[in-house]
Amino acid sequence: MTKGKNFSANNAKGQRKKSDFYETPYSITEHLLEVELFDYTKTVCEPACGNNAITRILKKKWNDVTAYDIEKNFLFDTKEYDYIITNPPFSLAYEFICKSKSLAKEKFAMLLPLSYLHGKKRHDDVYSDREYGLKKVYVFTRYPMLGDPLRVDGKYNTGMMVYAWYIFENHYSVLPTIDWIDNNSDVLSKKDRA
């Protein structure tokens, strides 16, 4: 049996590779909370918080936020949460999605490259799931640069990779929809860089 390429470079040990740490500009998470409905009286977990970029935005809305980095190892967590919102290490994205389906009671959001939509194993194990299905993909209209130092204003340079928020919802059984997040105003202009 021939296996396909593994673009996510799965890491079964549950450890982030040093080259797999990309902070999420604040506006990326703010946009998610503008377009996707969440009940802020419920619980939310950020299991790959790094330097707390996403967590800072979640704490503006939620009182009950659990945040830890992967050193705690999300893959062995047993506590349930209403929601999970994270930018997982891409090398562990598959494992994070599978684990989130067992811990997020209502839904979870993962910031991933748009190219994560393809792949036979992901199709069979993740996207064909009609019990905890992919509900929506929010594609950014501009390529956000992840990995640059964060700015307080949430602005960023453009990069080379297309990112999207992937929303998975418990008991969602139909095909997903696609929508766009217009993040043009978040891209640094020449004036902003000065």
pLDDT digits (tens, 9 = 90+) for 114-151: 999 999 999 999 999 999 999 999 999 998 888 888 88
pLDDT digits (tens, 9 = 90+) for 73-99: 999 999 999 999 999 998 899 999 999
Tell me what percent of the residues of the chain surpass a pLDDT of 70: 87
Range of the domain at 185: 21-193
* Position 158 in a domain: yes
* C-beta separation of 131 from 168 below 8 A: no
* Position 29 in a domain: yes
Residue 185 has pLDDT above 80, yes or no: yes
* Position 6 in a domain: no
Per-residue pLDDT, 192: 67
* Position 10 in a domain: no
* Position 83 in a domain: yes
List strand residue ranges (DSSP E) for the chain, in order: 44-46, 65-67, 81-86, 104-113, 132-140, 163-170, 177-181
Please report, for residues 107, 122, 126, 136, 174, the alpha-carbon distance to residue 98 in angstroms, rounded to integers and kept in the order given: 12, 10, 8, 17, 19
* Position 136 in a domain: yes
pTM, full prediction: 0.86
Q: How many domains, in total, are found in the chain?
A: 1
* Position 186 in a domain: yes
CATH assignment of the domain containing 56: 3.40.50.150
